[in-house]
Amino acid sequence: MLVTADKAIYSKAQEILWSKSPTLDGKATMLIEGMHLTINFITCIGRLYADGGLLAILSGSSVYAESTAWQML
Q: Where are the alpha helices (DSSP H) in the chain?
A: 7-18, 34-49, 54-60, 66-72
Largest Cα–Cα separation, the chain:
52
Count CB-CB contacts under 10 A for residue 37.
Answer: 13
pLDDT at 15: 86
One digit per residue, the tens of pLDDT, for the chain of length 73 reads 777 777 788 888 888 888 876 777 777 777 777 777 777 888 888 788 777 787 788 888 888 888 888 777 7
Dihedral sign of CA atoms 57, 43, 50, 65 in order:
positive
3-state secondary structure of 5: strand
Q: What residues does each domain of the chain span?
A: 1-32, 34-73
